[in-house]
Structure 1
Amino acid sequence: MDFAAIERRARTAEEAGFHSAWFIDHLAPPGDRGLDMLDAWTVATALAMRTERLHVGHLVLCAEFRHPAVLAKMAASLDVISGGRLELGLGWGSVARELTDYGFTDPGPAVRAGRLAETIDLLRLLWSGEPVDFDGAHWTLRDAVCRPRPVAGSVPIHIGGSGSRFTMPLVAGRADWWNCPAGATDRLAELRPSAGAARVSVQHPIGLAASSAAREEVVATVHRRFGAWGGVIAGTPDEVAEALSREREAGAELFICQFHDFGAPETVRMFAEEVLPALP
């Protein structure tokens, strides 16, 4: 998808009243390195400049790609320039081979989780605007200062995943938001207590059919494109709203939707007009 198409979808989402637009962070598309894919941070920055209210974020930025001090400066800068519209989704790298192929080290999940924990601690310290001295297992900073500060003094940090060993402790201890991935939505109520005080967002592949007659084709499309993710919700607007309402009742405050047609403007508008008003 070229930037013009991305911008058109984002502008439609803003006009329709959506909260945010979210992007991926890879050095090349994981499924086919021969395809074009724009840099995640550049896309978010460009869209923030071409919208007025829409928040921008990534699910997720790979923390291994950026030194914590650099990431803190990038995030604070975009947050200030956009008027406080950055949502910072962070992970430790979902494609281990990508790290090694592009010259990064892969010390394994436990170490990468520990590095992410320290990264988040450093972000919050640096966003204070005060000098930071830090001696961690993975990072060392001396008299480091990050200014300007984010608009609200900090940027909301989102962590996605459902693993009990590394991810959920990180969520409970350090995240503002827990993003429940599509494959774990059937365990949302079970996992919710382990997220601590973090607010809850949920990912879903959404197949939204304009009519009963179009339902079969849309259902087939969303399962073909995103069925491997799990957590597919498909059907007419009433059916989609009913499914999402159950998760609202379980504590979900935000839905990150991957639509069957990659967010074509007509689908985005239909979701806003026919699904959102039916949610509690």
Structure 2
Amino acid sequence: MTRTPRFGWLSPAIGNRFSGRRPIVVDQDTAILPTALPHFDSLWLADHFYGMDTPTDPFMEAWTTLTWLAARHERVELCHHVLGVGYRYPPLLAKMAATLQHLSGGRFVLGIGAGWRADEYAAYGYDFPKPSVRFAQLEEAVTICRLMWTQDSPSYEGRYYRIDGAAAPPMPDPPPRVCIGAAGEKIGLPLVGRIADVWNAPPAREAADWDRRLGIVRRAAEGAGRDPDGIEVTVTLERALPESDDDSARLVDELSARHAQGADHFVMDFGNPASTEPVLRFAEQVIAPLRAG
């Protein structure tokens, strides 16, 4: 199934030397997002606690900041890029998601993954088990969320998590879709196919790599009795905004090719643009023609 391409804006939660140590998302909220978001379908925010290069660089907590953005920008879909499953206990995560879905008018997508940043886990005192365990925990967490979003008094006994009559009113209507960020071909991608509504994928350098990964997701979906076309495929791309017509044409060519290969939704990380002019260029010269087909 070919969908009209969708576009997401990833706003950096970090502050660094290039932003004067000010969290970029805070400045983008007033300087860039009011111009950008009318042209985009979704708004994304990474989930980390401190900087990548310098631990003292500020990094806004993802859930608090996305809730703040939800109140300030009323139309776009909202998704984390992506939450680490080990950072928030699943029943509380389910309650938080239900609340944000209610307050945002049904715009929230639960973006979540198995976590990868071992130093961050250790710094905050979280256990960081091997990947197979983290993905098993992720599957249990999604199961608990969906139970708590749809049942009045659900119970569940898993290997890693449990609930016993965990009511979470008001239950979200509709329940949030679940976006799983994963790339591993043995565990992560089959999990996406079995349980995700949305897959957030890293870009593949070669078309064959992309085709193989997408094939794993689709076969896992079919094996679980699901329609693989029901899984929205998002891909995150770090790119510079276009400064010329030629720049825009190159982006149209790249995104057209990725869309033909099965990417439905492009999550664009443009860093910290200095003005809205290239944002509008991207909207007019890239988004508009791609949506028009």
TM-score by length of 2: 0.82
SS at structure 1 position matched to 2:54: coil
Alignment of 1:241-280 (within 5 A): 241-259=252-270, 261-262=272-273, 264-279=275-290, 280=293
User: Aligned residue for 1:45?
Assistant: 67
Q: Distance in 1 between matches of 2:77 and 2:42?
A: 4
- Give the aligned residue type for 1:190: R
* Mapped contact 2:24–2:272 kept (Cα < 8 A): no
Percent of residue pairs identical: 32
Q: Distance in 2 between matches of 1:85 and 1:185?
A: 33
Q: Distance in 2 between matches of 1:260 and 1:141?
A: 40
How many pairs does the alignment contain?
256
Unaligned runs of at least 5 residues, structure 1: 213-234
User: Aligned residue for 1:71?
Assistant: 93
User: Aligned residue for 1:240?
Assistant: 251
Deviation at 1:127, TM superposition (A): 0.4
Q: Distance in 2 between matches of 1:192 and 1:32?
A: 35
Q: Distance in 2 between matches of 1:163 and 1:87?
A: 22
User: Aligned residue for 1:224?
Assistant: none
For residues 227-248 of structure 1, the C-alpha deviation after alignment (integer angstroms, 9 at most, x for no partner) is xxxxxxxx61011011100111
Verify: 1:208 aligned to 2:241, yes or no.
Answer: yes
Unaligned runs of at least 5 residues, structure 2: 1-22, 219-227
User: Aligned residue for 1:227?
Assistant: none
Alignment of 1:131-146 (within 5 A): 131-146=153-168
SS at structure 1 position matched to 2:147: helix
Alignment of 1:92-111 (within 5 A): 92-111=114-133
Q: Distance in 2 between matches of 1:129 and 1:267?
A: 47
User: Aligned residue for 1:22?
Assistant: 44
143-152 or 181-190, which moves further after superposition? 181-190
Verify: 1:11 aligned to 2:44, yes or no.
Answer: no
User: Aligned residue for 2:113?
Assistant: 91
Alignment of 1:185-224 (within 5 A): 186=207, 187-196=209-218, 197=228, 198-211=231-244
Q: Distance in 2 between matches of 1:184 and 1:168?
A: 17
For residues 178-226 of structure 1, the C-alpha deviation after alignment (integer angstroms, 9 at most, x for no partner) is 11113567422222122232221111111233227xxxxxxxxxxxxxx
* Mapped contact 1:10–1:21 kept (Cα < 8 A): no
SS at structure 2 position matched to 1:26: coil
What is the Cα-based RMSD across aligned positions, in Å? 1.8
Which of structures 1 and 2 has the larger relative contact order (alpha carbons within 8 angstroms, sep 6+)? Answer: 2
For residues 75-104 of structure 1, the C-alpha deviation after alignment (integer angstroms, 9 at most, x for no partner) is 110111010111211012120121112101
User: Aligned residue for 1:223?
Assistant: none
* Mapped contact 1:129–1:147 kept (Cα < 8 A): no
- Give the aligned residue type for 1:203: T
* Mapped contact 2:251–2:286 kept (Cα < 8 A): yes
Structure 2 CA distance for partners of 1:4 and 1:100, relative to 1, 3 Å = closer
* Mapped contact 1:88–1:158 kept (Cα < 8 A): yes
Deviation at 1:66, TM superposition (A): 0.6
Q: Distance in 2 between matches of 1:151 and 1:84?
A: 7
- Give the aligned residue type for 1:180: A
- Give the aligned residue type for 1:48: A
Q: Distance in 2 between matches of 1:248 and 1:176?
A: 18
Deviation at 1:2, TM superposition (A): 4.8
- Give the aligned residue type for 2:253: E
- Give the aligned residue type for 2:255: L
Structure 2 CA distance for partners of 1:264 and 1:114, relative to 1, 3 Å = farther
User: Aligned residue for 2:77?
Assistant: 55
